[in-house]
Structure 1
Amino acid sequence: MLEFLNELLWGKVLIGLLILIGVGFTVVSRFVQFRYFGRMFRILSASQAFKHDKHGYLSSFQALLLSVAGRVGGGNIAGVAVAITLGGPGAIFWMWVVGLMGMATSFLECTLAQTYKQAEPDGTYRGGPAHYISRGLGKKWNWLAAIYSVLLLVTFGFCFTALQSYAVATSVGDAFGVPVFYTGIAMAMLVGMIIFGGVKRIAKVAEVLVPIMAGGYLLVAFVVLGLNFDRIPDVFMLIVKSAFGLEPAVGGGIGAAIMMGVKRGLFSNEAGLGSAPNVAAVAYVPHPANQGIVQSFSVFIDTLIICSATAFIILLSGVYEPGSGVAVEGVALTQSALADHVGDWGRAFVSIALVLFGFSTMLYNYYLGENSLNFFSTENQNLFNGFRVLIIGLVCWGATTDLGTVFGFADVTMGLLALANLIALLFLVKPGLRILRDFDRQIGEGIEQPVFDVSQFRDMNVDPVAWKIEPEDLERIRARETASGKTVR
């Protein structure tokens, strides 16, 4: 039954909806992910100026790192290897396509999450699909918001936390011989110390952990590219030709290449699943579109950079021979490929990378679970503390338990989660475009840093308290625009 539901959701319904929204919003937004690609870097640089510890806010940059901590996980190492094994090198091309279109989907859902976020008494924000469903579609859709919140709690808060713990513990055991029980205890202690500090402590850990884990993995990938520089054009052409069935006897043909590239790309970057908007909403930004643009970049980092790094490590190695069958798959394929380039220490490096990716994802999953509970109750601290204790227990249990059935169940609940989010996005495309056009208009008027004037959007049921721009930020914006000769707001 789980296999049937999984195949129905991911093999037919969701892939069609995700592609429809990704391509559709790309077109109606006039290719927003490409138009504002350069602005992503300016927003991230400026976000340091908008980092207000004294007000209790998180910056756009911190929210980006938190979302990267969740997006970048086992799918970037094992998932890419599976895509190549079953779909051939051409699957990577379709993964790229899905990533580029997913940037538009991520822009839409994360812009909406910012628009409909709510201010919290402690100076932070809460938001995500449950909030933009409830506020954006109205109270008559509260049932869908509630279903989404329950599915988010079950899928990410419970199932994926245990699954990540299992993946990390078994990887450490295989690479270093450490019993899974001890690894589980160690992870539970670390997770407990972090999550009891709330989202601010999680964000601070992500600020340190994400650059180290992603930067270290990319550094090794660049070393591999440097060692095989003359073969890079050939591998790139192999990917492109295989994507269109121009390479004989590779993978399962063009159909398998498209299917595996689309599925693995969507699993990896999570665009459209509704998970990242929960994190995107916590940032303090002058305009909702700012965070939409930044979160588009998160998809680019995950799929176009890190997944590509794994793909080239595999395809440039002597372990994988296109068309001749593959003796190893999953994490083992990536480990063997890296070892072929740099020696046996490459296997241990992949294991360490998987541990870091998995640990950061557990923190991300915890926050998604906490945010889902927050939709139902904002003041019951016993509920949140109980959830934190439960997460610590799940980390220990997951490390020592075979979770095959749990994985199948999580696939189905994640599919239903995505379905609820995509239905909401279809109805909220118009408000999303309205926010984007307000941003476009201000950019067109020469305003370097657009500001969201909440008084113009009261009909959208936006929380005005969540859109109070701090005085020092308004002064900073005015000073910057006056110096550059731009229009002053």
Structure 2
Amino acid sequence: MDTLDSLIVAVNDHLWTYLLIPLVVGAGLYFTVRSRGVQLRLLPEMFRVVKEKTPPRADGRKQVSSFGAFTISAAARVGTGNIAGVATAITLGGAGAVFWMWVMAVIGAASAFVESALAQLYKVRNASGAYRGGPAYYMQRALGTRWLGVVFAVTITVTFGFVFNAVQANTISSVASGSLPGTGTAWSGPVAGVLLAALLALAVFGGVRRISAVTTVLVPVMAVVYLLLGLAVVLLNITELPRVVADIVGGAFGLREVAAGGIGVAIQQGIRRGMFSNEAGLGSAPNAGATAEVSHPVKQGLVQALGVFFDTLLVCTMTAFVVLVTNPELSGRQGADLTQTALSETLGGWAGHLLTVVVFMLAFSSMIGNYYYGETNIQFITRKRWVLPGYRALVLCAVVLGSLGSVSVVWNLADVFMGLMALVNLLAILPLAGIAFRLLDDYLAQRRAGLDPVFTRDRMPDLRGVQCWDPARAPEPARVPAGAARIRP
């Protein structure tokens, strides 16, 4: 196992240092400049759009709203990476890794906007009338390269359906071992894995609408509970906060060493764990974003950019503060165990037990989102009926096996597959970014005219591969509700 872990680490270091970090940062900066900072200047518009209600279909069935799609992607984003991943990044890269997570959230939100707007534009309807889409679809329809779409579809299915779900199960097993009375490595892992697999099976057989219904309830609840716990820890250690901020900024630029982190390790860990957590540019969130019924593709691009900020600047930051105010030397623990110990030492043992429940909810909701990403991409590859049940069975096996695996091997393997996914997706959206910026210009022109923007494919008739956005089915442009933020040139 140690030899396998060493090999995976070596592959990771070369893949991220020499290829992925320059590509991820460069693409994010390019999108930021070309869009004139869409992720910052349209922040008020993001909050307006995410609250929009979606009317039911003609047959009376509910459609996935913009907020519903946001919660599906948030279910995958706001997972154990926010608790275990952030703590691991700090342990390996020092407090400075947090600063680079912040930087990547701001830069990466532009990538999230581009990929999700493209996914909305090139989405398709399935037999039941629901939308599907994502990178595989815009690779085929916009680039005309189905083979590249298949490569991406296979990669995301393995990454999210199997590897990332194993990570979630592994973290649940870890916190359960440290929280529940009498638990130990002999049976807590298998029990946690089987329980998670059973609950996941109940949720995923209901389709995307049930997934949206489950995550719409779970994500806000779990986020609020965790943030309240973290806020209590920070308030009880408020005098440590200036020191923590100084450690984060100082460690980011190599001015202050914490744990094993120099500037290079801090940057690498911050970007890796930041991408694992917020998924900006990874190509996963667009699969959820494409399911939403919105009047303009840009709306879902803005909503998914907001999701990056919610995940990293709010939830991940809370984890970082909890860990650093209580354990500045980062000694004795790692991963989720470090966060759990920080809560228990400050608030009492009950907080550690409550975190077990929160992590369970986080992992469960993340597994739902992860499963869906695999399902929608399998249906891109093939329509054979036996494939999807086989995929579901393998996902459930991965959950059980992940609860038994080594923490280090599981997380390092996730880094490798995440990197391969990002590589394929970013190479696809770089040449397609101009289309996303044309959509943005169209959206802003309508907003400046005081309208709630509506897109139809005849507004850009030169684009190939656009299946939806039929002018005959489009709603009439309406005035923007009174009190909405104004859009200026």
What TM-score does the superposition give when structure 2 sets the normalisation length? 0.90
Q: What is the identity, as a one-letter code, of the residue corresponding to 2:106? A: L
C-alpha distance in structure 1 between counterparts of 2:364 and 2:93, whole Å? 29
Q: What is the identity, as a one-letter code, of the residue corresponding to 2:49? A: I
Identify the residue that residue 333 of structure 1 maps to in structure 2.
338
CA contact (8 A) 1:51 1:58 kept: no
C-alpha distance in structure 1 between counterparts of 2:386 and 2:447, whole Å? 46
CA contact (8 A) 2:93 2:270 kept: yes
Task: Give the SS at the match of 2:84.
Answer: helix
Please say if 1:20 is aligned against 2:26.
yes
Q: What is the identity, as a one-letter code, of the residue corresponding to 1:398? A: G
C-alpha distance in structure 2 between counterparts of 1:107 and 1:405, whole Å? 32
CA gap of 1:395–1:328, structure 2 versus 1, over 3 A, is closer
Q: How does 1:184-333 map to 2 (within 5 A)?
A: 184-247=193-256, 251-317=260-326, 319-321=327-329, 326-333=331-338
CA gap of 1:253–1:469, structure 2 versus 1, over 3 A, is farther
Identify the residue that residue 343 of structure 1 maps to in structure 2.
348
* Structure 1: gaps spanning 5 or more residues: none
Q: What is the identity, as a one-letter code, of the residue corresponding to 1:320? A: P
**Residue 452 of structure 1: how far off its partner (Å):** 0.6
C-alpha distance in structure 2 between counterparts of 1:267 and 1:102, whole Å? 12
**Residue 268 of structure 1: how far off its partner (Å):** 1.5
C-alpha distance in structure 2 between counterparts of 1:482 and 1:163, whole Å? 46
Identify the residue that residue 59 of structure 1 maps to in structure 2.
65
**Residue 469 of structure 1: how far off its partner (Å):** 7.7
C-alpha distance in structure 2 between counterparts of 1:407 and 1:146, whole Å? 25
Q: What is the identity, as a one-letter code, of the residue corresponding to 1:239? A: I
C-alpha distance in structure 1 between counterparts of 2:283 and 2:347, whole Å? 38
CA gap of 1:71–1:51, structure 2 versus 1, over 3 A, is farther
CA contact (8 A) 1:280 1:295 kept: yes
Across the two proteins, how many residue pairs are aligned to each other?
473
Please say if 1:74 is aligned against 2:77.
no
Identity %: 41
Identify the residue that residue 355 of structure 1 maps to in structure 2.
360
CA contact (8 A) 1:67 1:279 kept: yes
Task: Give the SS at the match of 1:314.
Answer: helix
CA gap of 1:467–1:20, structure 2 versus 1, over 3 A, is farther
Identify the residue that residue 433 of structure 1 maps to in structure 2.
437
CA contact (8 A) 2:54 2:66 kept: no
CA contact (8 A) 1:89 1:251 kept: no
1:393 aligned residue (368, 393, 397):
397
Q: How does 1:93-104 map to 2 (within 5 A)?
A: 93-104=99-110
CA contact (8 A) 1:168 1:359 kept: no
Q: What is the identity, as a one-letter code, of the residue corresponding to 1:37? A: L
Task: Give the SS at the match of 2:60.
Answer: helix
CA contact (8 A) 1:55 1:123 kept: no
**Residue 365 of structure 1: how far off its partner (Å):** 1.3
CA gap of 1:231–1:3, structure 2 versus 1, over 3 A, is closer
Q: What is the identity, as a one-letter code, of the residue corresponding to 1:339? A: S
CA gap of 1:311–1:467, structure 2 versus 1, over 3 A, is farther
Identify the residue that residue 8 of structure 2 maps to in structure 1.
2
CA gap of 1:435–1:175, structure 2 versus 1, over 3 A, is same
**Residue 407 of structure 1: how far off its partner (Å):** 5.1
**Residue 431 of structure 1: how far off its partner (Å):** 1.2
CA gap of 1:432–1:76, structure 2 versus 1, over 3 A, is same
Q: What is the identity, as a one-letter code, of the residue corresponding to 2:115? A: E
Once the two structures are superposed, residues 364-395 of structure 1 have per-residue CA deviations (whole angstroms, 9 ceiling, x without a partner) of 111111111111234x3332233223333333
Please say if 1:463 is aligned against 2:466.
yes
Once the two structures are superposed, residues 13-41 of structure 1 have per-residue CA deviations (whole angstroms, 9 ceiling, x without a partner) of 11111000111111110000011101111
C-alpha distance in structure 1 between counterparts of 2:334 and 2:111, whole Å? 30
C-alpha distance in structure 2 between counterparts of 1:406 and 1:232, whole Å? 32
CA contact (8 A) 2:450 2:479 kept: no
Please say if 1:143 is aligned against 2:119.
no
Once the two structures are superposed, residues 215-264 of structure 1 have per-residue CA deviations (whole angstroms, 9 ceiling, x without a partner) of 10011122223323344344323322332333366653333322222222
CA gap of 1:49–1:142, structure 2 versus 1, over 3 A, is closer
**Residue 428 of structure 1: how far off its partner (Å):** 0.9
C-alpha distance in structure 2 between counterparts of 1:206 and 1:215, whole Å? 14
Taking only aligned residues, the RMSD between alpha carbons, in angstroms, comes to 2.5
C-alpha distance in structure 2 between counterparts of 1:406 and 1:311, whole Å? 22
Once the two structures are superposed, residues 260-318 of structure 1 have per-residue CA deviations (whole angstroms, 9 ceiling, x without a partner) of 2222212211111111111111001100010000000111111100010001111221x
CA contact (8 A) 2:167 2:414 kept: no
C-alpha distance in structure 1 between counterparts of 2:324 and 2:414, whole Å? 30
2:176 aligned residue (172, 175, 179):
172
Once the two structures are superposed, residues 162-199 of structure 1 have per-residue CA deviations (whole angstroms, 9 ceiling, x without a partner) of 33223323432332126333333322221111111011
CA contact (8 A) 1:117 1:466 kept: no
Once the two structures are superposed, residues 49-98 of structure 1 have per-residue CA deviations (whole angstroms, 9 ceiling, x without a partner) of 44659254200000001111101122211221122222222221111011
C-alpha distance in structure 1 between counterparts of 2:207 and 2:90, whole Å? 39
Q: What is the identity, as a one-letter code, of the residue corresponding to 1:188? A: A
CA contact (8 A) 1:125 1:466 kept: no
Task: Give the SS at the match of 2:36.
Answer: coil
Please say if 1:452 is aligned against 2:455.
yes
* Structure 2: gaps spanning 5 or more residues: 1-6
C-alpha distance in structure 2 between counterparts of 1:179 and 1:384, whole Å? 30
**Residue 480 of structure 1: how far off its partner (Å):** 5.4
**Residue 470 of structure 1: how far off its partner (Å):** 5.3
Q: 242-251 vs 256-265, which deviates more?
A: 242-251
2:94 aligned residue (85, 88, 95):
88
CA contact (8 A) 2:96 2:266 kept: yes
CA gap of 1:51–1:66, structure 2 versus 1, over 3 A, is farther
C-alpha distance in structure 2 between counterparts of 1:247 and 1:407, whole Å? 27
CA contact (8 A) 1:225 1:232 kept: yes
CA contact (8 A) 2:101 2:274 kept: yes
The structure with the greater share of residues assigned to helix is: 1
Identify the residue that residue 478 of structure 1 maps to in structure 2.
478
CA gap of 1:51–1:223, structure 2 versus 1, over 3 A, is farther
